Amino acid sequence: MPSTGFAHWLIVLVETFAALFLLLLALFVVVLLVTWLVDRNQTGNAVLRNFPVIGHFRYWFLHLGEFFRQYLYSSDREEMPFNRAQRTWVYRAAKNVDNTGAFGSSRDLRGEGVPFFVNAPFPNLGEDHVEPVPVTIGPYARQPYSHAAFFNISAMSFGALSAPAVRALSRGAAKAGIWMDTGEGGLAPYHLEGGCDIIFEIGTAKYGVRTPEGKLDDDKLLAVCAHEQVKMVSIKLGQGAKPGMGGLLPGAKVTAEIAAIRGIPMGEDSQSPNRHLDIGNVHELLDAIVHIRELTGKPVGFKAVLGGADWIGEMCDEIARRGIRSAPDFIIVDGSEGGTGAAPQTLMEGVGLPLHEALPALLDMLIVKGLRQRIKVVCSGKCVTAYDVAWALSVGADFVNSARGFMLALGCIQSLQCNRNTCPTGITTQNPKLQRGLVVSDKSERVFHYARNVMHEVGIIAHSCGVAEPRQLNRGHCRVVGDDGLSIPLEKLFPYPKANETAV
């Protein structure tokens, strides 16, 4: 009677599933009733009070809409901060796969503000890419720094980034021959792991080199700069995404290790002051630069967001009074379109000059004051593709930094969760389960390929424009589309000023 036994067990199984279904249905009904009662009687949300239960769908749709727009509805050139075309270009460059296109560009070359380059009628025969020439920074420092690569990793701290992300960046940077800026979170062993050149950043809280009162600890700074890999020191005055506000690291990301490196309490929000306690004017800024340079022997400069260039002129006048040795060795200018792990939306969207205004303003002021050769200029702010970098070199930058470009190279999908400790790619989270997705050996290769491919393609642009090396690009090689749909050369939009020979 096996068939009868089978039928019996089948009936038992069906009855069990039916009972479970009825139980789950009853629980579901209870949850709906409780939710209805809570929504109907709460006073904080009008939509839920008027439309209990179904009002929650509004928030689910708002959340899901972000992902649907990214993958289904938005065109290749619509999204912000980086559209799908930009992200795809970076992904392909990082994977070192064919990055050619067919049929025609989807980039609208008639849109106001779009830059493009003017090709020479008879470019040089032969190679379309020439290795960049080294540029020396800090001629008056005991250990000047000569660096060839014009595309480097911008400031991102350990804490904002995970340990695997920092390790992958360090290894990839070493292989590509580019530098890596530590950001304001102090020097971690992961920065040193790959053997790359390092720019050590001193933020307003002086993490990693601070006294208990938040002042600069000379001994700790000497210990940091004793590492051969640390080539320069950058004093962070401000950041493009949050001018006038110090860095913010949510407490969920302040692990015991990060707290120890920064010198702060574990598990508590880490909010830096909105400026250095000991730097309140250009005089004190120059004092700090000279002190750190004499202490460490390394080139010293600063990073700032410009709200105008008048204070740069003030600084140059003070340098003229003190002597040219007192000048910063470099200035990193960050555009207001710069990225961050966490910042108020108001500051991200409404404060500071964007890079396309700030960079020429800074350069022109240095030219007028006779300090352009003395002070090297680094820029950052949404420069992730070859023509972004070529534009900055055409304006006059010596070096271009990128943070989010290298995050995309690591696998960032622009999920906009950097401030929540829930980054799905393991880049900006301190959650070990999520960090597991970032395989250092794989991602370091992508960092290497991305850096090299950007510089290679900038070389292609330079070759097409008829110059031998990317830093020979100038404002005559780039045009920008105006509001009438017609382009004008950068040298007409931002004419080179005449240098004041007696300024310094």
| Predicted confidence (pLDDT) at residue 2 exceeds the cutoff of 80 | no
| pLDDT confidence tier of residue 214, bands split at 50, 70 and 90 | confident
Predicted local confidence at residue 9, as pLDDT? 80
127 located within any domain: no
* Of the residues 54, 73, 92, the one at which a domain ends: 73
In this predicted structure, which of 177-181, 359-363, 406-410 has the lowest mean pLDDT? 406-410
Q: Do 322 and 186 belong together in one domain?
A: yes
CA 144 from centroid of its chain's CA atoms = 26
Predicted local confidence at residue 53, as pLDDT? 83
Per the listing, tokens 């690291």 go with 249
First to last CA, the chain: 107
Based on the structure, what is the number of domains in the chain? 2
Spatial separation of the C-alpha atoms in residues 285 and 278, rounded to whole Å: 8
Give SS3 for 3: helix
**Which residue segment(s) compose the domain that 45 sits in?**
2-73
Q: Do 169 and 312 belong together in one domain?
A: yes
Q: Do 470 and 377 belong together in one domain?
A: yes
78 located within any domain: no
Predicted local confidence at residue 1, as pLDDT? 46
Average pLDDT score over residue span 37-46:
82
Q: Do 53 and 139 belong together in one domain?
A: no
Tell which phi-psi region holds residue 244, choosing left (phi > 0), alpha (psi between -120 and 50) or beta: left
What is the CATH classification number for the domain harbouring 353? 3.20.20.70
Predicted local confidence at residue 61, as pLDDT? 64
Q: Do 226 and 327 belong together in one domain?
A: yes
Query: Phi, psi (5° rounding) for residue 147?
Result: -140, 130
Q: Do 152 and 67 belong together in one domain?
A: no
Predicted local confidence at residue 129, as pLDDT? 63
* Of the residues 73, 97, 120, the one at which a domain ends: 73
119 located within any domain: no
94 located within any domain: no
114 located within any domain: no
Q: Do 165 and 270 belong together in one domain?
A: yes
**139 cis-preceded (ω within 30 degrees of 0):** no
| Predicted confidence (pLDDT) at residue 73 exceeds the cutoff of 60 | no
Q: Do 336 and 460 belong together in one domain?
A: yes
103 located within any domain: no
**Amino acid present at 98:** D
Q: Do 210 and 326 belong together in one domain?
A: yes
Predicted local confidence at residue 388, as pLDDT? 93
| pLDDT confidence tier of residue 59, bands split at 50, 70 and 90 | low
Spatial separation of the C-alpha atoms in residues 476 and 124, rounded to whole Å: 18
Give SS3 for 211: coil
Instruction: Describe the crossing of helices 440-464 and 386-395 by its angle, rounded to 10 degrees.
Output: 50
- How do beta strands 145-147 and 300-304 pair? unpaired
Q: Do 67 and 170 belong together in one domain?
A: no
* Of the residues 20, 43, 73, the one at which a domain ends: 73
Q: Do 187 and 66 belong together in one domain?
A: no
Q: Do 40 and 168 belong together in one domain?
A: no
The total of other beta-carbon atoms located within 10 Å of residue 283's CB is: 14
Give SS3 for 311: helix
Global pTM value: 0.85
Predicted local confidence at residue 380, as pLDDT? 93
Each residue's pLDDT tens digit, 134-162 = 999 999 999 999 999 999 999 999 988 99
Contact by Cβ (8 Å): 458, 470: yes
Each residue's pLDDT tens digit, 273-284 = 888 989 999 999
88 located within any domain: no
504 located within any domain: no
Predicted local confidence at residue 326, as pLDDT? 97
